[in-house]
Amino acid sequence: MSPNFLLFARKPRDKSEKDWEKKTLKNKPRVLVVDDEPSMRELLEIVLESAGYVVRSVANPDAARALMQDQPFDAVLTDLYMGNDRQAGLTLLSWMVDHVPATPAIMMTAHGSVETAIEAMRRGAADYIQKPFKTNDEVRIRIERAIRQRNLVRENVVLRNEQAQRADFKEMVGTSPAFARVQEMIRRVATLPSTIAIHGESGAGKELVARELHQLSDRADKPFVAINCGGIPENLLESELFGYKKGAFTGATEDKEGLFAVADGGTLFLDEIAEMPQILQVKLLRVLDNSIVTPVGGTTPIKINVRVLSATNRDLAQMAEEGLFRKDLYYRLNVIPLHVPPLRERTEDIPLLCRHFLHRHAQSMGRPGLVFSPEALDALAQYPWPGNVRELSNLVERVAALTVGDRVELSDLPPAVRQFTPNVASALPQTLPEGGIQLESIIEDLETAYIRQALEHAKYSHKRAAELLGMTPRSLRYRLRKYHLDVD
């Protein structure tokens, strides 16, 4: 027993005293001591109980595991070496990381085994303390600090979960059912550690979804790092991801951190993952499996803690079946798939997005009062947007810059948008639905679309437009008034 502690005798406690202790101390922090020396276990019980902890002590890792499976502990104080087993503490730590990762482990070590204690911290231990202890306070402080840190992590997780539930998605504009499903999925998975594969067409907003997932996760205060795997030459992508050592190749004049290391603790977003060369796919899979990267030209592996999100506009499942993408990597990336719908599947959101982008771009150009005319907004809502949200944002920025006056008119829009005629007929049901249809509304949409296009082609000459439509000018004027399209 260490002479550094002031020891005192304890009277044996009867059953009634133990029952009282269970009732009165049930809300106090619980500490498990694991040490094969009876005198050390008794000493630590005295010190920690006097500090207000409820203490259980056992002599070996097997007993510790059995206790932790039966009841929760706020911290575990374990010796590194027990009996003849010099790996006993590390073995117990490994089990705790897998089964009770929220419980902090503090390793006790003799003077000559500090390196082993440091290795234990690399593997997930919260702290270590050398024996013999300097003072009673040293033990108490280490445990108090570990529990406080554990509580902060838990509070942060709760906060992130609450934030995810009430997230307003300010940058994610839309109220359509299709987009509401995306928002709900983000809320559900943002706080999970799993890899997420974001699928969707180019310009649909996959990176925006990735950033939202990061912001609502418990990694939000750490880096969000994005890389376009298709935008970097194959021979440079590996060094960008994993880093390199000085002299690894021509031009490597100094060490450089890779993006995995830069994103440590945070999120790495691999955009256009389908473009990654297969030789790098093997290395990426290894990193996802063991969370270790080795810089190009280096021999020392680096432990990293990174959540990986990926995105592609291609069919990875089909590519995997055809041998164009590794199946094992596809399954590893696609743990949680998240589909971002194209804009044509959420047309209800187009007017909202138009106003959102116009407000943003007009503000940056010093034109805060700029608005869309109803005709312009209606034409934008009819267009199919093959380039999705990105195309819409770019177009709104262009008209915000070029429009003269305080209102974007139909004539301010590009010809492709102004002259587009929705194929209303192709959207009609082939058979009458049980609930029926709104025939007049369908006819109105069809006539309105063709009248607009005819007016565009005829440069707003009613006579010429009527000829294009095969009707008299009088019939055209009647429909212009009926559909509120009179441009006289």
Tell me, what's the pLDDT at 280? 94
Q: Kindly give the pairing relationship between strand 224-228 and strand 267-271.
A: parallel
Of 132, 98, 130, nearest to 113 (Cα)? 130
Rounded Cα gap, residues 57 and 44, in angstroms: 9
CA 250 to mean position of chain CA atoms = 36
Q: Is the model's pLDDT at 335 over the cut of 90? A: yes
User: Mean pLDDT over all residues of the chain?
Assistant: 84
Residues 234-247: tens digit of each pLDDT: 878 999 999 888 88
Tell me, what's the pLDDT at 171? 66
Residues 352-364: tens digit of each pLDDT: 999 999 999 999 9
Per-residue tokens: 151? 């509580």
Residues 90-103: tens digit of each pLDDT: 999 999 988 888 88
Q: What is the DSSP string of 152-213?
A: HHHHHHHHHHHHHHT---TTS---SHHHHHHHHHHHHHTTS-S-EEEE--TTSSHHHHHHHH
Residues 128-137: tens digit of each pLDDT: 888 888 888 8
Per-residue tokens: 44? 């630590």
Tell me, what's the pLDDT at 426? 54
Rounded Cα gap, residues 69 and 58, in angstroms: 14
Residues 49-65: tens digit of each pLDDT: 999 999 999 999 999 99
Please report, as a single letter, which amino acid is at residue 90.
L
Which helix (H) or strand (E) segment holds residue 372: the answer is strand 371-372
Per-residue tokens: 145? 């600090």
For residues 318-344, average pLDDT: 94
Place of tokens 């679309």: 449
Tell me, what's the pLDDT at 20? 38
Q: What is the pTM of this model?
A: 0.56
Helices 136-165, 38-50: inter-axial angle, 10-degree rounding: 60
Rounded Cα gap, residues 39 and 46, in angstroms: 11
For residues 211-221, average pLDDT: 90
Neighbours of 378 (CB within 10 A): 15
Q: Is the model's pLDDT at 251 over the cut of 60? A: yes
CB contact at 8 A, 265 and 233: no
Q: What is the DSSP string of 45-85?
A: HHHHHHTT-EEEEESSHHHHHHHHHHS--SEEEEES-BTTB
Please report, rounded to a whole number, the percentage of residues in the chain having pLDDT higher than 90.
42
Of 288, 330, 287, nearest to 312 (Cα)? 330
Write the CB contacts of 159 (distance below 8 Å, at least 6 apart in sequence): none
Residues 165-202: tens digit of each pLDDT: 444 456 688 888 889 999 999 999 999 989 999 999 98
Tell me, what's the pLDDT at 427? 55
CA 40 to mean position of chain CA atoms = 46
The answer to whether the Cα torsion of 399, 404, 406, 407 is positive or negative is: negative
> In order of start, what are the domains of the chain with their CATH numbers?
15-158 (3.40.50.2300), 173-341 (3.40.50.300), 346-482 (1.10.8.60)
Residues 422-456: tens digit of each pLDDT: 655 555 555 666 667 777 777 887 788 788 878 87
For residues 118-136, average pLDDT: 85
Give the pLDDT band (50/70/90) at residue 6: very low
CB contact at 8 A, 231 and 273: no
Q: Is the model's pLDDT at 396 over the cut of 80? A: yes
For residues 32-39, average pLDDT: 93
Q: What share of the chain is helix, strand, coil (3-state, %, to 5)?
A: 50, 15, 35
The answer to whether the Cα torsion of 224, 225, 228, 234 is positive or negative is: negative
Per-residue tokens: 334? 């696609």
Q: Is the model's pLDDT at 84 over the cut of 70? A: yes
Rounded Cα gap, residues 53 and 82, in angstroms: 24
Residues 366-378: tens digit of each pLDDT: 988 899 999 999 9
* Cα three-residue angle 94-96-102, rounded to 5 degrees: 130
Q: How deeply is 55 buried, as exposed, middle or buried, from its count of CB atoms within 10 A (0-12, 13-18, 19+)?
A: buried
Tell me, what's the pLDDT at 76? 95
Residues 278-299: tens digit of each pLDDT: 999 999 999 999 999 888 888 8
Please report, rounded to a whole number, the percentage of residues in the chain having pLDDT higher than 70.
86
Tell me, what's the pLDDT at 422? 62
Q: Kindly give the pairing relationship between strand 75-79 and strand 407-408.
A: unpaired
